Structure 1
């Protein structure tokens, strides 16, 4: 095959353009730190990157969910702790009032404190977290206690669940029927009335103590249930943290360029490019005027 000057020139320009393209790709990797900047450069890397980023995004969402679970459960535990303290104080007052040596005025004072403690417990029942009532089952937009002067506690037992892993849903709320039930407030109302009634005997007040103990046990047991779920959430969070590290490492292995290798290849390509330019200049240089000299 006859090789013409035109063929030599075209081949030289093509090789120079290819050299420019390789240098451009290497410079892109050096400036971005990524293997590719367009999906067309390596469809396999691009598709794997989309899949890995989806998985990493899912882990981040689950981590945000776990933060909300912690806030919800911490608020629940704090409210139940304060409620337990209030109930224990009511028990202590009832024990004191059961002593027949207490006068009517003294029992009236105890009744006033019990009324205040009952209102405090109602406040705990209306605890909100991030604008949601946490002791009203799935009806988180409405308060379980509407009016402390005429308490009507909700019996909504619905569970509020939050997804922490794919397909793993954790109930985050406390069962209000085990804590702030209508029975609790009815019994406190009855106790207050008994304390205000001068005809109530010490023996009758002693009978109220067993009822109070039953409510305290229910609240403590529910708090223990919340604590057990919180322990599970901590284990899930630890797993999510491990998944986050793994996802970031896999994405880095898939997408990040080896900077030392890129710099070495760029320097080598620059030498090749300079050689191509020098060779091309010698080939393309001769023109008709050169032959006429």
Structure 2
């Protein structure tokens, strides 16, 4: 199966380790992974801030770039939901049939990592080992847009040595919401404070999610409070083996943000 990695802007710029983890995991499961270097933003930020024409141009580019692959996998429920939910709506307002045809061909092939593993490959045990206490935060787009349900939890429960602990108020938004956090900082901070309180009450070593944007938001508050809880993308845990070092200062997603900023996953993901 020819699979393309759609890395997304946030991951490519701030969290390149997540993209590498996706490639490691998919190759372990027998997938041929490609990385189209011409990929750019999916247009979500443009659409949600009132620029549908600009979003449509980016959508046209994405459908062209990822044409011809059997599947497109992204470590972002937010961007996957943008393609699957909003691209068909953008196509209905665009002149001519070509864009609508491209969307109809490409959008159904775009999958969040967890649904690709569970629904397309049919696996929950991916051969991972991660002997730590983990709490999972279901991000809004993955929960309400993609309706991932318990797919991420099923994958985590199959990781050897991992103890998945419940998160109080798990389905509540963390307050990030892309530009929402910029336009409504006080409300966003209050929502994040509630989420941080619940994460700390869970007593886990690691906070996991399927979107690094939410992890960045919550993780920043955790670091400021010196909570001692690490943040890691789901892909990084699923790619882990017993030989990996335990979470510590700078580990996981946070390390990718600090050490890999500006590095770009395209240079290292598919060598």
**TM-score normalised according to structure 1 size:** 0.22
Greater helix fraction, Structure 1 or Structure 2: 1
Q: Give the TM-score normalised by structure 2.
A: 0.24
Larger radius of gyration: 1
Flag the structure with higher strand content. 2
- Which has the bigger relative contact order, CA under 8 A and spacing at least 6? 1
